[in-house]
Amino acid sequence: MKKILIFLMVLSLCLVAVGCNGPDESQQADNSNLEETKTLNMAVFWLDPNLEPTQGWNGWTLARCGIGENLVQIDENLNFKPVIAESYEQIDDITTVFNIREGMKFHNGNPVNAEACKASIERALKISDRDELKFSVEAITAEGEKLIIKTTKPEPTLISKLADPVYIIVDVSAADDENFKFKPIATGAFKVVDFNPDLGMTLEKHKEHWSGDIGVDLVNVKYIQDGTTRTMALQSGEIDLATQIGAKDLNIFENNDEFVVQKGPNLRIFLLRLNMDKPYMKSLAFRQALCYGMDKETYATKIVNGVPAKGPFNDMLPFGYKGEDYYSYNPGKAKELLDKAGFIDRDGDGIREIDGENIILKYISRTNHGGDANNIGTAMQSQYKEIGIGMEVIQVENYSNMAQSGDFDMIWERWTSAPTADPEYFLEASYKTGSVGNFGKYSNEELDNICRELGNTFDKERRQKLGIEGSEILMKDVASLFLYYQEGTVVTRKKVDGIHRFISEIYYIDDRVKVK
């Protein structure tokens, strides 16, 4: 009996020991697993309704968040770098051979080979609405790991076009799935787990990525439109990475050892597109008066801490206009032009008229353009009143329907004008007659001829000269009101490494990102 009691006592002590130790060890294991998950929280200021790269500019989100990759891409110094293609060679004016990396896998594990790349490029050529990025094809052939593209005519910008996110390589065999546009199957360092166009995305690392093990396991991409809100999210620790932080907020992070700030010139132009269907906008004198009537130097330096723009291209580019502004602020000159053109205030209410109707311009921006767009609109409203032009300043959540229907006089836009350091893209996509980005229906035969010549010119110096000529046409003709260039900014927490500031702003993170 005594032996039995001793046995029971020992057993109970063992159970107590197990009961005490068990949860601690389990908790330690759980904590260990949590510590091993390397998570990056980042913000984007723009998110489209879906992630189908062939539609509009959706592909930029895939590129910025390390989801999609191209045969060839633009690096942080505006040079071409091979990615899915390990190397490439332009054999002649119409033939280019790409050598596809061996052993690459899509996010779903399917192989990435020349045949898969061929199918993806052909799909983009067939269904994309970005006609300015399409090229003539005689044949695309796949021979082992060699992809051969032969065009029907010389294509000077073939490599530039293939580097655009429209041509992100996707698994076409998965593209018929109804969820593909929300969870595209690509090749990047991260794959989409969840997508919500109003909130953001959850990404996880692509374990079979060609570069090896990725230094981040999970990426939470948060859609934060407003720059001030992104600043607050960085301060609170909600996010670890953000771009497009306003100059006024940068001081918070530049003097804080917990953050790393990268800044420098970028290629983004902020402009107001004019609706050329409006009867008064058809008058060059009226458009010139709009230029003379606004003090964009003050807007740039006092409101947004940017650089006043003379034309579409920053003068850091070899095809950027380096002369004097054609129409600097001069309200007296604006009034003189309007008087001579017959835009008169006949009823004495302070607003000029056309066909008996007051001229009241509709200035439209989106809420994700933030306070800067609204503040500049308010400043313009006051200055235009001085020259006898009325203006409504309207900010809406989404102006795509208004842009397409022409329900505007001025619409706020921001463009990366030369993402591949070449002038053709912006001139072609934004101002060529009938182009997809030409919501203002601007048309100029001289500019169209320049676009056509760019489409057939290989010589770099000639292309740069054509870019300058195109810029001068747009400036003289007041195709838009070019407002300012903005400094590019990237702010990260010290624990984040491998982040590079891309002048083109097409990319934010890639396979080099790490969380310490």
In order of start, what are the domains of the chain with their CATH numbers? 69-173 (3.40.190.10), 180-265+488-515 (3.40.190.10), 268-487 (3.10.105.10)
Q: 200-205 and 190-196 as β-strands: parallel, antiparallel, unpaired?
A: antiparallel
On whether the pTM is more than 0.75, the answer is yes
Q: Which residue has the tokens 């910025």?
A: 64
What would the two tokens of residue 194 be? 């969840």
Dist. CA 251–CA 7, nearest whole Å: 71
Dist. CA 113–CA 100, nearest whole Å: 6
What are the DSSP calls for 180-222, one per residue? TTTS----SSEEEEEEETTTEEEEEE-TT-TT-S-B-SEEEEE
**Along the 516 residues of the chain, how does pLDDT read in single tens digits?**
444 434 434 334 343 343 444 444 444 444 444 458 999 999 999 999 999 999 999 999 999 999 999 999 999 988 999 999 999 999 999 999 999 999 999 999 999 999 999 999 999 999 999 988 999 999 999 998 999 999 999 999 999 999 999 999 999 999 999 999 999 999 999 999 999 999 999 999 999 999 999 999 999 999 998 888 999 999 999 999 999 898 778 989 998 999 999 998 788 899 999 999 999 999 999 999 999 999 999 999 899 888 899 999 988 889 999 999 999 999 999 999 999 999 999 999 999 999 999 999 999 999 878 788 999 999 999 999 999 999 999 999 888 889 989 999 999 999 989 888 899 999 999 999 999 899 999 999 999 999 999 999 999 999 999 999 999 999 999 999 999 998 889 999 999 999 999 988 899 999 999 999
Dist. CA 275–CA 403, nearest whole Å: 9
The reported pLDDT for the residue numbered 510 is: 97
What would the two tokens of residue 399 be? 């102006």
The reported pLDDT for the residue numbered 347 is: 94
Tell me which amino acid residue 458 is.
F
Q: Is the Cβ–Cβ distance between 350 and 388 less than 8 Å?
A: yes
What backbone phi and psi angles, to 5 degrees, belong to 146? Answer: -100, 130
The reported pLDDT for the residue numbered 29 is: 41
Q: Enter the DSSP assignment of 26.
A: H
Element (H, E) at 390: strand 390-396
What would the two tokens of residue 62 be? 């895939």
Dist. CA 145–CA 115, nearest whole Å: 8
What are the DSSP calls for 303-362, one per residue? IS--EE-SSSS-TTSTTS--S--SS-S-HHHHHHHHHHTT---SSSSS--EETTEE-EEE
Give the residues across from 361 on adjacent strands.
391
Measured CA angle at 279 (ends 277, 281), to 5 deg: 75
User: Minimal CA–CA distance to 169: which of 53, 78, 82?
Assistant: 53
User: Minimal CA–CA distance to 239: which of 38, 491, 66?
Assistant: 491
